[in-house]
Every structure is written in structure tokens, then in C-alpha cells.
Amino acid sequence: MSVLARSIGNAFRNKVRTAAVVAVLAVAIGLALAMLVANQAVAGKVSELNASVGTVLTVTPAGGQGFEGGGEPLTADQATTAAGVPNVSSVVGATALRLRNAEAAAAQAGAGGPAGQGGPGGQSAATVTTSLTAAVDAGTLGTRNQAATGTTGSPGAATSFSLPITATGVGAEVDTTGKALELTAGSGLGDYSAASSGALLGTTLAEKNGLGVGSAFTIKDQSFTVAGLFDAGTAFGNNALYLTLPTAQTLAELPGELSTLIVTVDSMDHVESAKTALQAALGTDAADVSQGQRNLETAVSSLSSVKSISFIAFVAALATAGLIILLIMVMLVRERRREIGVLKAIGARNRTIGLQFVLEALVLVALGSAAGAAVASFASGGIASALISSNTTTATGAAGAAGQRGIPGGMAPGGFPGAPGGNPLGGAGQLLTSVTASASPGVIGAGIAAVFGVAIIGALVPALLTARIRPIEVLRGE
């Protein structure tokens, strides 16, 4: 019988006690693994948020944020100026316009609904007709603009009111946060600096209108073909479409004008300096530079605190598992002093006996880890959600409020409903709650490796205690 076989046999000497120890270890290890899974999931989400908006600056016409009105629209020359600012890696111009279904617009006009004031820079955003029907029905999302008696609604007009569809012309295949568009079908529009009859539609907008890749629709009586479908992750974000920048400018009859510049900085470290330099280069009376990362700071900070809490809980649960092993093994060593003495009397080396106890501890940990991994795979999602929801309620509210502030043109019906995919803030709340904590084999494996590491340390102490047992004590007890 080898040391390993003897250790396994010893682990099951007292089956009831072994079951109890394994159960306690399973809880501690399961909690540790669940916390590690949550930690990794949140860390991934923080990276994703930082990667998506962390290095993006948004340039709008001066006074364009909020309700102050706005100055002159941005131009291609300003885009060139912005591109020359140090540490700026890319500048993408965008022009937004509202699309209204021709029939809905006519019905709303007949019912005395509000005109389409608002829009980028506080100016009247171009409103053009389309054959598409908005994917979001009035009154189905949120609490504003849906009641006839609401403070922002128009009395008597609610029954004929419909939400507009956002069309954005972009100079590259990115959304207004600077993040690459996530195409779920079809392909991109190719050269975004040239006019094109292709369009990228949000998945829900395409579904609402029964369109797929290759289908046709009209904007301003001009025929367009669906080149691809994208998923922005939000209901409003998917009630949108993208065109090439020149096409949108032509449809808006505003050639050369830009409503937004999406500026990407080369690293997080340079965002602050680039923002200052950009503001100086464009002039405070001509453009406002805002930092998406700032707006999401609360959300990211909240996630970071969840990450810290989960890491501390992981370490604490790990330490608890180690302590359980330590105490159990100390108890076993004390219980088997006579046996250890006899083994030494018949020639066992200290390291052989120590190894036997370490292996016995690892057998218990292996059983506890197997049960703990099962616990973690079931509980990690719930634990992560509970941690996030208890830590992000405030943050989500703050982020949402900031998101509204960032919507150019205000919230009046017919106004600009936010950029597709959300502006740097629009989807913050959703991003926070969309953290998926799945127990991947890699994370579980790393967690179990850490558990074994701690268990070895925990088992070494009692193993070293065995070296202090003198075999003479056995004979004295005779």
C-alpha cells in the first residue's frame, strides 16, 4: 500500500466525519469559486466598458448639450483639426437625422402633434419620411411621452404619436460611442466616405418591418437596400439605422455638416490631456468636448467596487477553507499521535508521515472542490447578480440620468431620441445588469488550483507537527 493509497484510506476512516468535513469545505470552496467567477465576470465587463467608451471623446456644436441651443454645426475642417491633436488616433464624423413613417407623420400632423423641434446642437434636426415603421411603439418603453395627460406629452395627440427612427450617417463602421458595430447578419457598407444606397438596420427595426439582408425600403422616396443587421443591445439602440456619412448629409440637405465628431484617443492615460487640447484647438465657442468615460465613471466605479468585494470575499472564503483544513488536520494529528509514534518507531521518516497527512488533506479538498465546483456553477450567477444589483442601483440611476443629459436636442416627442446603441451613457444601466457570470472551466480550474495551494499550506502546519512527535511517547504510554 503506497503513501497515496494509505492517505485515501485514512481520509475515509470515519465516514460520517469525512462527509461533514467535505460538506463544510464544499460550502467554503463553492463560495470562493462563485466569488472568483463573479470577480472575473465583472472584471471583463469593466474592461469592456473601458474599451468601448473609455478612450472616446464626443465633440458637439457649442451649447449643443442640454437645452442651451447650439452654435454652428461642425464641419469637415474641424474634423481635420481634431485629427491633428496629439494622441488622437481617429476621428469619425456623424450626422444624425430623424425618420418618420410617412403615414404616421401625416396622422400626427392632422392630430396637432408637436413638430420635430430639437435635434443635434439644439437645432432642428432634419426629419425625413421613410417607408419603415418604428420598432418601438409609443407607450411601450419608459414612462415619459406615453400618457395623454403626461407633462411632456401633447394632450389629445397621444393616440397618433409614434417614435421616430434614428438614422445616422457615419464615416466609419462604428456607433456613436466609437465602438465597432456588431453585425449579426450581412456585411458593412464598404467605403463610408462615399454615397451609398446600402444601410445597416437594427435587428428589432428590421424584424418589425419584415426586412432581411437584401431587402429594400425607402427614405425620402429614395430606395435603399439592407446591407447588414446590427445589434446595439438596447431597444432604442436597435430602433435605428446607419448610412454612409455623405448619404446622410445629402438626405438631410446639409452637405459638409456634421452633428457629432467621435474622437478616439490612443490610451486612457491621454484622454484628459487630449480633451483639453481638443477643446483648445476647436475653440470653446465653436465646439463642446465631452468625455464618455466621465459619464460612465459612476457605473464603472460601482462595478469596480463589486470586483473588489468579490475578490475580498474570494480570499476570505479561500482562507476559511485553508483554516478548516488546518484545524481538521491538527485534530487528526492529535488523534493519531500514537499511530505516528509507532510509524516512526518502525522506521518511517518524518517526510513520509508529513506527506501522508498532506495527501490526506488534499483528498478531502479534492472532494470538497468537486462539490464546491457544483455549488459554484449553480450559485455564481445568482451571487454575481445579487452583488451587482445591490451595488449598482444608485449608479444605474445616475448613469441613466446622465444619459438623458447627453441626448442632444432634448426629449420632446419628435426630438432626437439618442444615438443608436446608446450614447456613451445610454446603455450604461443595461451594461451594468448585463454582466454574465458563467462558471468557465478556466476560472473554476484556477480557483481550484488556488484552493489546493491554500490547502497545502494549511496541511503543512499539522504535517510539520508530526515531526515533533517523539516515538518514545508511544512506549511510555504502554
The C-alpha atoms of residue 386 and residue 310 are separated, in whole angstroms, by 11
Closer residue to another protein (CB): 305 or 352: 352
How far apart are CB 329 and another protein at their closest, in Å? 17
Closer residue to another protein (CB): 175 or 360: 360
Binding residues (CB under 8 A) for another protein: these are: 1-3, 6, 9-10, 13, 338-339, 342-350, 352, 470-472, 474-476, 478
How far apart are CB 33 and another protein at their closest, in Å? 32
Closer residue to another protein (CB): 272 or 335: 335
How far apart are CB 353 and another protein at their closest, in Å? 10
Closer residue to another protein (CB): 342 or 460: 342
How far apart are CB 10 and another protein at their closest, in Å? 7
Closest CA to 409 of 138, 91, 107, 126: 126
How far apart are CB 6 and another protein at their closest, in Å? 7
How far apart are CB 346 and another protein at their closest, in Å? 5
Q: Which residue has the cell 432604442?
A: 236
How far apart are CB 332 and another protein at their closest, in Å? 13
Closer residue to another protein (CB): 441 or 468: 468
How far apart are CB 337 and another protein at their closest, in Å? 12
Closer residue to another protein (CB): 270 or 337: 337
How far apart are CB 350 and another protein at their closest, in Å? 8
Closer residue to another protein (CB): 343 or 395: 343
- Which CA distances in Å does 112 have to 16, 101, 417, 457? 79, 16, 20, 77
Closer residue to another protein (CB): 18 or 75: 18
- Which CA distances in Å does 408 have to 131, 358, 389, 402? 25, 65, 29, 12
Mapped to the 3 state alphabet, what secondary structure does the chain carry? CCHHHHHHHHHCCCHHHHHHHHHHHHHHHHHHHHHHHHHHHHHHHHHHHHHHHCCEEEEEECCCCCCCCCCCCEEHHHHHHHHCCCCEEEEEEEEEEEEEEHHHHHHHHHCCCCCCCCCHHHCCCCEEEECCCCCCCCCCCCCCCCCCCCCCCCCCCHHHCCCCEEEEEECCCECCCCCECCEEEECCCCCCCCCCCEEEEEHHHHHHCCCCCCCEEEECCEEEEEEEEECCCCCCCCCEEEEEHHHHHHHHCCCCEECEEEEEECCHHHHHHHHHHHHHHHCCCCEEEEEHHHHCHHHHHHHHHHHHHHHHHHHHHHHHHHHHHHHHHHHHHHHCHHHHHHHHHCCCCHHHHHHHHHHHHHHHHHHHHHHHHHHHHHHHHHHHHHHHHHHHHHHHHHHHHHHHHCCCCCCCCCCCCCCCCCCCCCCHHHHHHCCCCCCCHHHHHHHHHHHHHHHHHHHHHHHHHHHHCCCHHHHHCC
Tell me the three cell numbers of residue 340.
505516528
The C-alpha atoms of residue 339 and residue 406 are separated, in whole angstroms, by 74
Contacts (Cβ under 8 Å, ≥6 apart) of 476: none
Closer residue to another protein (CB): 143 or 346: 346
Closer residue to another protein (CB): 401 or 475: 475
Closer residue to another protein (CB): 13 or 17: 13
How far apart are CB 356 and another protein at their closest, in Å? 11
Helices 3-11, 350-405: axis angle to 10 degrees equals 60
How far apart are CB 341 and another protein at their closest, in Å? 8
Closer residue to another protein (CB): 294 or 470: 470
How far apart are CB 336 and another protein at their closest, in Å? 9
